[in-house]
Structure 1
Amino acid sequence: MSGPMRNLCLVLGDQLDAGSALFEGFEPESDRVWMAEVGGEATHVWSTKARIAVFLAGMRHFRQVLHGRGWPLDYLALDEHDFPGLAEALAASLQVHRPQRVLCVCPGEWRLRESLRETVEAAGCEWVEVPDRHFYCDPESFSGWAKGRKTLRLEHFYRWLRRRESVLLDDCEPCGGEWNFDAENRASFGREGPGLLPAPHAFEPDRITRGVIELVEAHFPDHPGTLDDFDWPVNAAQARQALDDFIRRRLPGFGQYQDAMWTREPWLYHSRLSAAMNLKLISPREVVEAAEAAYRAGDAPIAAVEGFIRQVIGWREFVRGVYWLRMPDFAEANVLGADQPLPAFYWTGDTDMACLRDALWQTLRFGYAHHIQRLMVLGLFAQLLGVKPEAIHHWFLAVFVDAVEWVELPNVLGMSQYADGGFMVSKPYVASGNYINRMSNYCGGCRYRYGNATGDDACPFTTLYWDFLERHRDRFSDHPRTALQWKSLARKSDQERDAIARQAKALRERLAE
């Protein structure tokens, strides 16, 4: 490179898109790409080893892509510098290169976006955000859709976006005659269990990934989790293989059993694509188009395809829109006044509650749990217990390989914990142990009885469920979508409610120690 630098192009760990708008008009003679691995991004929340490794392995494989193009690249590897965070590393590079502009796709965290922008402007450079073509709906379009709405509902947004993008439509009407086949997608496996399941394609760590695993073990030995089973896709080619594997072998069964859970079966019919999409190794458009093509070819039923596409073009786009619409205040939401500490067993899996033990086992082992385990086991217990939303939000952000704040925070604070007071969802997702028993085999191997709210064998979920209803009776008893739950509470005697309150109080005190 000769002469003054025009553009320093930032590529962050969740922006590994070879077709990014960041690279349009890139001129090797006057532009440079910048990437950095920093320990601060692994310790901002106490990230699991698997989460750290996914990001670093993805970044190092993307470095190879850029080398293949022969482009000028600054790549600050973790073991080659001592900068604590991205802002400090960038500031040092700006002093060396003094570019006219710093180009970046919008970061996935408000905190990081503000930190980097301030760093660039303090160095006297122009901060320029280029369009993020990875998503269907940009924040400005979402804001336009949301304007004038007191509350936001996924179903309204989902139909609007499907129409706009012509997804799963025949003559402008939804395929199969319905927008939403959720009622057909709530089956459990029954006593027989799931049977022989098609195992997802595993990716043996190559030389680059093995080097990352060694690096993580050396630099973050005390972080939770393990890398013994690490087999995630970490480059674009692997992400496409994972998509093809899911479409062919598991999508047909996904819809019916997407909410089901089973002991020591972490994958079931789920796609394992969320991490690859969130790191931008694969486009959600490619994923949605492949799923729709399977339906039109007769290879997968409409209920399965619609249910999967709703997760991608529905929830994924919806929560991103909510995040950028509501931040930074969203991170402080705590309408229900929850103030309990997060139980220590969330970091170890050491609990005698079978459902939590299994969900935590796979989370800490693989960095993964599917959406119902997250919402109706891990998140539900925290909500019923009254855990401070910030604490459970930080835990979710730390443990899952697909966790980026734009997608994690709204799902946890809005949907799981109802901390936003109903802006995102119309009612709190609360249930007793009966729900877990219906959707899994967990309760059969548990020392607690899912139907009991008091006594030595009372299910903590059930105790805390009734206690939650009592504590928040004034807020929800007249709510049109929750009235039946609170009417059930009203049928309990004063003595029963007092006994439940005492047991819940003792449980909170024990878990807070």
Structure 2
Amino acid sequence: MPPHPLSTPSPTCARAPDAATPLPADAAPAHTLRLLLGDQLNPDHAWFGRVDAGVVYVLLELRQETDYVRHHAQKILAIFAAMRRLAQHLAAQGHRVRYVGIDAPLGTGSAAGPAAQPQPQPGSGTGVQAWCLSDCLTWLCQQHQARAFEYQEPDEWRLDQQLATWCAGSGLATRRVGSGHFYTPRHAAAQFFGARKQWRQEHFYRRLRQEHGVLLDALGQPEGGQWNFDADNRQPWRGQPPVPPDARPVHDHSALWHLISASGVQSMGEPSAAALRWPIDRAEALQQLDHFIEHRLAHFGAFQDALSSQHGTLFHSLLSFALNVKMLRPHEVVQRAEQAWRAGQVPLAAAEGFIRQILGWREYVRGVYWAQMPGYTNCNALAHQRPLPHWFWNGQTRMACMAAALQNSLRNAYAHHIQRLMVIGNFALLAGLDPQALHRWYLGIYIDAFEWVEAPNTLGMSQFADGGLLASKPYVSSAAYLQRMGDHCRTCPYDPALKTGARACPYNALYWDFFERHAQRLGQNARISLVYRNLQRMAPEARAALREQAAHTLERIEAL
């Protein structure tokens, strides 16, 4: 078993709230409580356009949310820091805010954000952090004598169901409002694709481009004469052009991390509490957007699929965390990229490739998620069951590309999409690792991972666990792709040219063995027909040697 097992506990509580608990000074009556979740940190939401003394905004640091999978330390820290910053901002605007910290004893919480009063000492009493969201809401509504409860539409199915259930039994007037974040409603993709067995992102993307007038000419046709410039965006990076320095601010959240740790929250990865580089408010997120547009976007397209042992992020935007907690709106990000192209600052292929990730892929995977839940996170079409190797939690593997991707993830709570898909995910699929275990690992380790975006990317795009609903083929490769797109093979003890033997790259034999094992399911897939033709051309003894090599590789997977 791995040293840090992942689990998915149900949202139960240590005990029910006590309605007789004395009211703190900040729990004056309010007619309405409005909940803000940890990924709903948009200070420009329509809610905040008017100050109403009868409305209290509630932000909760909950063990339910820190513990449903084991999260990266920086993910917990950045979300809590950003929640606290938003609470301070709202209070400064005149709104009433009830903030309940991770170690707040019963009856505490700041009306003006966490900085307005001393934090309780760790272990200073039974804290509401032991309760689930539902019971915290019951307790707060009783304290404030609220008659109404409102919340923004959650993006995760589990929270959507939990809040709907609580509202139905609350006895209050309840209302769900939109988050005002996405281009499309939850079920827009399902309505677009209808009864089709396979959903293809490209079709949905083109429709959204047309609906929102993105990168279209005066006749409503795609700029440049084509919708997709992906073929221009597959270059390896060989040291030029230079990668711009990381311009993100450095935060010292040592005190907050001490509080989180002392509260018993378990995490993985490096906390970097004294040097956290992730934005914690909208102003910082906008500065990061400016930096990307000015210094990275021009080269993002060409090198978006590249791997480098010197630079873990290359020209990627690092905006996904700010987007997914809603400090940035996708509309403004897309608009900035298009404006940069129209101003002649970046190539069309770079702007289109980046816009496709935001307007196309991000909206598409959200649609897949809401159409397929609740069963989607349990899908395992290929019946893979192998446990994750222990080095997923420490990065200690001799495979150079894998070690770099894992160590980058553990160190920074981040890896770019090719590291996630074609290094870590590629190996996991070839080796037959349990897709649910991998899903929980991805969900926990990456700072931008929330289930609506992570589950389709992991289970559909990466692991083909949905049987091909999302991806038209399994995204796997041998060492040849990794060698072509990166430079890790130069220093790796495994030889990318060898398929068998002690020094053979593990990706090679596993690649052919994967297609052998799943020939019945995949053999008729037109997109990989060449693979099966090449397999059939091999001499029987060569195929037997590859099967033997793959079996030996899996037997010693912990030592790779």
With over 3 angstroms needed to count, the CA separation of the structure-2 counterparts of 1:66 and 1:3, relative to structure 1, is: closer
For 2:32 and 2:558, how far apart are their aligned partners in 1? 51
Residue 228 of structure 2: aligned partner: 180
Among 62, 80, 101, the alignment partner of 2:104 is 80
1:279-290 matched pairs, under 5 angstroms: 279-290=325-336
- What SS does the aligned partner of 2:187 have? helix
8 Å CA contact 1:8–1:103 kept in 2: the answer is: yes
8 Å CA contact 2:389–2:557 kept in 1: the answer is: yes
8 Å CA contact 1:49–1:220 kept in 2: the answer is: no
With over 3 angstroms needed to count, the CA separation of the structure-2 counterparts of 1:463 and 1:219, relative to structure 1, is: farther
- What SS does the aligned partner of 1:169 have? coil
Q: Map Cα deviations across residues 399-454 of structure 1 (whole Å, 9 max, x no partner).
A: 01111111101110110001111111111101111110000001111111113222
Deviation at 1:117, TM superposition (A): 2.4
8 Å CA contact 1:185–1:304 kept in 2: the answer is: yes
Residue 487 of structure 1: aligned partner: 533
Matched, 1:351 2:351: no
Matched, 1:164 2:188: no
For 2:444 and 2:248, how far apart are their aligned partners in 1? 23
Q: Map Cα deviations across residues 429-484 of structure 1 (whole Å, 9 max, x no partner).
A: 01111110000001111111113222101111112111101001111122111100
Among 423, 427, 432, the alignment partner of 1:381 is 427
Matched, 1:63 2:87: yes
Deviation at 1:490, TM superposition (A): 1.3
Among 237, 247, 252, the alignment partner of 2:298 is 252
8 Å CA contact 2:40–2:179 kept in 1: the answer is: no
Matched, 1:468 2:514: yes
- What SS does the aligned partner of 2:103 have? helix
Residue 273 of structure 1: aligned partner: 319
Residue 136 of structure 2: aligned partner: 89
Matched, 1:223 2:267: yes
8 Å CA contact 2:443–2:451 kept in 1: the answer is: yes
For 2:263 and 2:241, how far apart are their aligned partners in 1? 41
The amino acid of 1:401's aligned partner reads I
Residue 118 of structure 1: aligned partner: 165
Residue 99 of structure 1: aligned partner: 146
- What SS does the aligned partner of 1:170 have? coil
Matched, 1:19 2:63: no
Matched, 1:308 2:350: no
Among 202, 205, 214, the alignment partner of 2:258 is 214
8 Å CA contact 2:27–2:144 kept in 1: the answer is: no
Normalization by structure 2: what TM-score? 0.87
- What SS does the aligned partner of 1:28 have? coil
Matched, 1:41 2:89: no
Query: Quick check: 84-93 or 457-466, which moved more?
Result: 84-93
The amino acid of 1:232's aligned partner reads W
Normalization by structure 1: what TM-score? 0.95
For 1:120 and 1:43, how far apart are their aligned partners in 2? 23
1:390-469 matched pairs, under 5 angstroms: 390-469=436-515
Q: Map Cα deviations across residues 91-130 of structure 1 (whole Å, 9 max, x no partner).
A: 3223323433321112121112212222233322344220
- What SS does the aligned partner of 1:73 have? strand
Deviation at 1:170, TM superposition (A): 0.9
Q: Which structure has more helix as a fraction of its residues?
A: 1
8 Å CA contact 2:391–2:558 kept in 1: the answer is: no
- What SS does the aligned partner of 1:227 have? coil
Q: Map Cα deviations across residues 157-184 of structure 1 (whole Å, 9 max, x no partner).
A: 0000010010111121111111100000
With over 3 angstroms needed to count, the CA separation of the structure-2 counterparts of 1:80 and 1:308, relative to structure 1, is: same
% same residue: 41
For 2:241 and 2:330, how far apart are their aligned partners in 1? 30
- What SS does the aligned partner of 1:482 have? helix
8 Å CA contact 1:94–1:123 kept in 2: the answer is: no
Deviation at 1:497, TM superposition (A): 2.1
Among 363, 367, 382, the alignment partner of 2:413 is 367
Deviation at 1:503, TM superposition (A): 2.5
Deviation at 1:146, TM superposition (A): 2.2
With over 3 angstroms needed to count, the CA separation of the structure-2 counterparts of 1:487 and 1:220, relative to structure 1, is: farther
With over 3 angstroms needed to count, the CA separation of the structure-2 counterparts of 1:512 and 1:99, relative to structure 1, is: farther
For 1:143 and 1:96, how far apart are their aligned partners in 2? 41
8 Å CA contact 1:9–1:22 kept in 2: the answer is: no
Deviation at 1:219, TM superposition (A): 4.1
Residue 148 of structure 1: aligned partner: 195
Unaligned runs of 5+ in 1: none
8 Å CA contact 2:398–2:492 kept in 1: the answer is: yes
| Aligned alpha-carbon RMSD (Å) | 1.9
The amino acid of 2:55's aligned partner reads D
8 Å CA contact 2:29–2:143 kept in 1: the answer is: no
Unaligned runs of 5+ in 2: 1-25, 106-126
The amino acid of 2:101's aligned partner reads A
